[in-house]
Amino acid sequence: MIDSYGSEEQRQKYLPKLTSMEHFASYCLTEPGAGSDAAGLSTTAVKKGSHYVLNGSKAFISGGGSSDVYVIMARTGGPGPKGISCFIVEKGFKGLSFGKKEDKLGWNSQETRAVIMEDCEVPVENLVGAEGQGFSIAMKGLNGGRVNIGSCSLGAAQASLDAALEHVKVRKQFNQPLSNFQNTQFKLADMATSLLSSRLMIRQAAAMLDQDHPSVASFCAMAKLHATDECFQICDDSLQLHGGYGYLKDYKVNVYLRDSRVHRILEGTNEIMRLVASRSLLAE
């Protein structure tokens, strides 16, 4: 988002450390009272001389408290999407603080916290784009995020399929490996087919993102919807093929299941993905 919409000064200041992973950044859109209804956010930004003063809070922020840079959407104008602007806020800015570390079902390798702004002072040069452009920037940022989350699901599903294949070849019941049973064979075939279709959709969406295709939003939404739904099912099917072993923490398949469940919520719930896709269809 900084690369696409930021000034040359912003790009030179922030991108080298972000792209080298010396620094990390967090995307801050969701609020306690504004999740799927992102345009209803209430965090405010008021221009006072050489600074904007931000007040409000963001919820469920991945990397909250750990990241060095926060790209925050705040309201500089009236109600609705046209009143939202985008700001780069650095950890350490006056008035920026963080909530408690959330205790999550999965994704435990990354902290999730609230990001809180209490008279947080942000230099005017940290406005990304123009005032009122923030919602558009945020939505376009989500397109890439949806491809990213779908890709994470692909990884979990591939690892789950690999684990299932290994397990059914060595686990025996009724004096033969589980892989000899037709039900197992058909289940594995279904899992592989779902994984392939998900991978192809994610790759097509990624290509359209690179091309800035006019229909990129709907294709990213459909790819994320399909991949995260289907890949979670693959993880669940793998756990089932493991039987009782799949429910033990000694086996990695439980981690893939827990970590991929949230992908159907992150970067826009899959219900919102259906809304995005249907609006595109009805507009044709």
pLDDT value for 151: 98
Is the model's pLDDT at 216 over the cut of 80? yes
| Whether 125 and 150 share a structural domain | no
What average pLDDT score do residues 227-238 get? 98
pLDDT value for 283: 86
Structure tokens that stand for 89 in this block: 């806020």
| Whether 107 and 201 share a structural domain | no
Of the candidates 132, 158, 187, which is a domain's last residue?
132
Structure tokens that stand for 137 in this block: 């920037």
pLDDT tens figures, 69-118: 999 999 999 999 999 999 999 999 999 999 999 999 999 999 999 999 99
| Whether 176 and 64 share a structural domain | no
| Whether 93 and 181 share a structural domain | no
Domain hosting residue 30, numbered range: 2-132
pLDDT value for 196: 98
pLDDT tens figures, 132-173: 999 999 999 999 999 999 999 999 999 999 999 999 999 999
The CATH code of the domain that includes 74 is 2.40.110.10
| Whether 120 and 157 share a structural domain | no
pLDDT value for 35: 86
Quote the mean pLDDT of the chain: 96
| Whether 115 and 178 share a structural domain | no
Note if 267 is an active site residue: yes
| Whether 117 and 184 share a structural domain | no
Q: What are phi and psi of 247, to 5 degrees?
A: -90, -5
Of the candidates 99, 132, 165, which is a domain's last residue?
132
pLDDT tens figures, 18-67: 999 999 999 999 999 988 888 999 999 999 999 999 999 999 999 999 99
- Strands 51-62, 44-48: pairing kind: antiparallel
pLDDT value for 56: 97
| Whether 21 and 124 share a structural domain | yes
- Tell me how far apart the alpha carbons of residues 44 and 276 are, in angstroms, rounded to a whole number: 27
Neighbours of 8 (CB within 10 A): 7
| Whether 208 and 277 share a structural domain | yes
| Whether 164 and 125 share a structural domain | no
- From the list 131, 267, 271, 284, the catalytic residue is 267
Is the model's pLDDT at 284 over the cut of 80? no
pLDDT value for 36: 87
- Tell me how far apart the alpha carbons of residues 255 and 108 are, in angstroms, rounded to a whole number: 10
Q: What is the pTM of this model?
A: 0.92
* CB within 8 Å of 70: residues ≥ 6 apart: 25, 26, 28, 61, 88, 89, 90, 91, 96, 115
What average pLDDT score do residues 188-192 get? 98
The structural domain count of the chain equals 2
Of the candidates 132, 150, 168, which is a domain's last residue?
132
Burial class from Cβ neighbours inside 10 Å (0-12, 13-18, 19+) for residue 154 reads buried
DSSP for the chain, please give it. -HHHHS-HHHHHHHHHHHHTTSS-EEEE--BTTBSS-GGG---EEEEETTEEEEEEEEEEEETTTT-SEEEEEEESSSSSGGGEEEEEEETT-TTEEE-PPP--SS-TTS-EEEEEEEEEEEEGGGEESSTT-HHHHHHHHHHHHHHHHHHHHHHHHHHHHHHHHHHHHH-EETTEEGGGSHHHHHHHHHHHHHHHHHHHHHHHHHHHHHHT-TTHHHHHHHHHHHHHHHHHHHHHHHHHHHGGGGGSTTSTHHHHHHHHHGGGTTTS-HHHHHHHHHHHHHH-
| Whether 140 and 128 share a structural domain | no
The CATH code of the domain that includes 169 is 1.20.140.10
| Whether 176 and 269 share a structural domain | yes
